A and B are shown apart, each in its own frame.
Chain A
Amino acid sequence: MKLSAKQASLLVLAVLIVLSPFFFPSGYYFRVGSLLFVNGLAVVGIVILTGFAGQISLGHAGFVGIGAYACALAPAYLGLHPALSAVLGAVVSGATAYLVGRPILRLKGYYLAVASLGFGILVSMVLANEARWTGGPDGIKTPDLGLRGLLADMGLELTNPQFWYALSGLALLIGAWLALNLRDSPTGRALRALHGSEVAARTVGIDVAQAKLMAFVVSAVYASASGSLLALQNRFITPDVAGYMHSIELVTMAVLGGAGSVLGAIFGAGILTLLPQALTVFQNYEQIMLGLVMMLVMVFMRQGLLPSVLGLMRGRGE
């Protein structure tokens, strides 16, 4: 049986997620793993927007923030269950992206970058300034999802990090599956066509504005889901998740790993999630190493880490 590239990618991901825990010496590794998956989920959204459709956003953390704060605010003020709050967050993020995306996506390149940056800053500013509702810059507590307790009642006892590892791993798998399906769908092909050249895409009858908007909305929902998972896992959230540093981090993860490929971008999320943990041994030199790695990878592996490595191996092997 021959696997398609899509099936192969999903299989690699699933095997990694399922088998890695057998090598984990402590609960801390589950925590790092689940962070990796949460970041990975948002980064898959960036792949759809940047890798497929070729649009840059420096404000996607704004949607992470909406998803995260939905899980804190909707239970407190609307009495909604945390899981439903996450869904609400995704809906709000998608709707916001739809409204904001229409005017913003007319801009190109750096102008789009600065407009999206502005959007992200607006979101984080509202979260920080409306302290009466959001708890202000010091953050706000989020309720327990309750699912872990439910599983325990059903006889499946998981520690907190284990549970979140499993749940966010599952979320990432589903997210990657959907993104890979989208890539090969007519819409996905339209997106990749406009990435190549908008004018060319338009001449073959693609509704460019609509296609871009679709990519923006879908990627916003990914970011929102990632924020919800983070907020529910941490049980506490601050406006930092919506800040521009987080936006830049997400784009960096995607590009570093290879923005054109779902697996590559997740790999990039992995690198930037694991690296700071591994670099703690360097103490004061941590930032120097991080900056150096980013520059070296981009200088010598332009397509991103994973696609470049794969390309090299293919070149040698065949």
Chain B
Amino acid sequence: MPELMQFLLSGITVGAVYALVALGFTIIYNASDVVNFAQGEFVMLGGMITVFAYQAGLPLPLAALIAIAATAAAGVAFNKLAIETARGAPVVSLIIITIGASIFIQGVAQVVFDKQLHRLPAFSGDEPLHVFGATILPQSLWVMGGALIVFVGLWVFFTRTLTGRAVLATSNNRLAAQLVGINTNFVMTLSFGLSAAIGALAGVLVTPITLTSYQIGISLALKGFAAAMLGGMGNPKGALVGGIALGLLEALTAGYLSSQYKDAVAFVVILAVLFAMPQGLFGRKAMERV
């Protein structure tokens, strides 16, 4: 049994990383129906800025705080300069804008920082904890805790706060939202700021495990995107469950079937789920306007 336990712990660790990235997608998607492919770059910025601030001699918590604030500012700037100006453009154009932003941010990062791999020290040491004959690093618990807190925070935000409901209202019908007095511009700015901050937080938490470099964003964004779609885009619960499920699938496949095809198995399962449930596990049913 220790093997199975190890596979599960590994799966949950990796799954929590995916879930954190997937959670970042939900806010922007809820506010604007845009899947922000630059979300992975927010994760990268969070990690890289922390690494360089920490190397410059700042204490780790302060470095992390600066990274999160700076990334949130980048998210707001991205919204103001690009997304808001492109208001009314078709969704596919908005996707290309976010891909362009992703390439742009990577380009800036490789000039401002460097092209090497970096790591942060684990927050609570590297001594593994033993659970039923398997081991887990304390940092994994940080990542899981982070994912859980962000999830609960988002859930409360969307269901219990007026601002959160305003975000949902904006996504459902922008004009109607404006008519009932919602400041949709503020909602958009807030969404991008929050999403970027969550991404950066994810970057800070996962860097001691996954390491970071200027180009980790794309693959994280794709995995997070897949996880979010598996769970159902826009729903924090979907992001959390989708992320953990993806991580577990990969770990169990690597453990029991084939480590070479673990990503393939994960995608086959995603395809199968989508065929049975075209809106993902927890997605809301989309209405088509004629």
Chain A residues near B (Cβ < 8 Å) = 50, 56, 103-104, 106-111, 113-115, 117-119, 121-122, 125-126, 129, 197-200, 244-245, 248, 251-252, 255-256, 259, 284-295, 298-300, 302
On whether the beta carbons of A106 and B107 are closer than 8 Å, the reply is: no
User: Residue-by-residue, is B101-140 near A (CB-CB < 8 Å gives 1, otherwise 0)?
Assistant: 1111111101100000000000000000000000000000
Bound form: Cα–Cα A117–B224 in Å: 13
On whether the beta carbons of B270 and A118 are closer than 8 Å, the reply is: yes
Bound form: Cα–Cα A117–B100 in Å: 18
On whether the beta carbons of B275 and A298 are closer than 8 Å, the reply is: no
Closest-by-CB residue of B relative to A130 is B260
List 10 tightest A-B contacts by C-beta distance, closest first: A291-B104, A287-B107, A294-B100, A288-B107, A291-B103, A118-B267, A295-B100, A114-B229, A302-B89, A299-B86
Q: How far is the CB of B94 from chain A (nearest CB, A)?
A: 8
Contacts of B95 in A (CB 8 A): 255
Contacts of B268 in A (CB 8 A): 118, 122
Other-chain contact of B280, A111, A284, A294 (Cβ < 8 Å): A111
A sample of 26 cross-chain residue pairs with beta-carbon separation below 8 angstroms, ordered by A number, consists of A103-B271, A108-B286, A109-B286, A111-B278, A111-B279, A115-B271, A117-B225, A118-B268, A118-B270, A121-B264, A199-B290, A251-B96, A252-B96, A284-B110, A286-B107, A287-B104, A287-B107, A292-B100, A292-B104, A294-B99, A295-B82, A298-B86, A298-B93, A298-B94, A298-B97, A302-B89
Is the C-beta of B256 less than 8 angstroms from some C-beta in chain A?
no
67-94 of chain B: CB within 8 A of chain A? 82, 85-86, 88-94
Contacts of B229 in A (CB 8 A): 110-111, 114
On whether the beta carbons of B290 and A294 are closer than 8 Å, the reply is: no
Bound form: Cα–Cα A251–B226 in Å: 18
Q: How far is the CB of A135 from chain B (nearest CB, A)?
A: 16
Q: How far is the CB of A175 from chain B (nearest CB, A)?
A: 22
Is the C-beta of B48 less than 8 angstroms from some C-beta in chain A?
no
Contacts of A111 in B (CB 8 A): 229, 233, 274, 278-280
On whether the beta carbons of A255 and B286 are closer than 8 Å, the reply is: no
Bound form: Cα–Cα A248–B218 in Å: 11
Bound form: Cα–Cα A237–B8 in Å: 38
On whether the beta carbons of A291 and B100 are closer than 8 Å, the reply is: yes
On whether the beta carbons of A255 and B101 are closer than 8 Å, the reply is: no
On whether the beta carbons of B264 and A302 are closer than 8 Å, the reply is: no
On whether the beta carbons of A290 and B275 are closer than 8 Å, the reply is: no
Contacts of B216 in A (CB 8 A): none
Bound form: Cα–Cα A54–B51 in Å: 43
On whether the beta carbons of B290 and A200 are closer than 8 Å, the reply is: yes
With A125-B264, A252-B96, A294-B99 as known contacts, state yes or no: A114 contacts B104, CB within 8 Å.
no
Bound form: Cα–Cα A247–B107 in Å: 20
Which of the listed residues B94, B260, B271, B288 has the most CB atoms from chain A within 10 Å of its own CB? B271
Other-chain contact of B97, A113, A126, A285, A295 (Cβ < 8 Å): A295
Closest-by-CB residue of B relative to A120 is B267
With A291-B104, A294-B103 as known contacts, state yes or no: A121 contacts B267, CB within 8 Å.
yes
Contacts of A200 in B (CB 8 A): 290
Closest-by-CB residue of A relative to B37 is A248
Contacts of B271 in A (CB 8 A): 103-104, 115, 118-119
User: Residue-by-residue, is B229-270 near A (CB-CB < 8 Å gives 1, otherwise 0)?
Assistant: 100010000000000000000000000000011011001101
Contacts of B89 in A (CB 8 A): 298-299, 302
Bound form: Cα–Cα A290–B88 in Å: 23
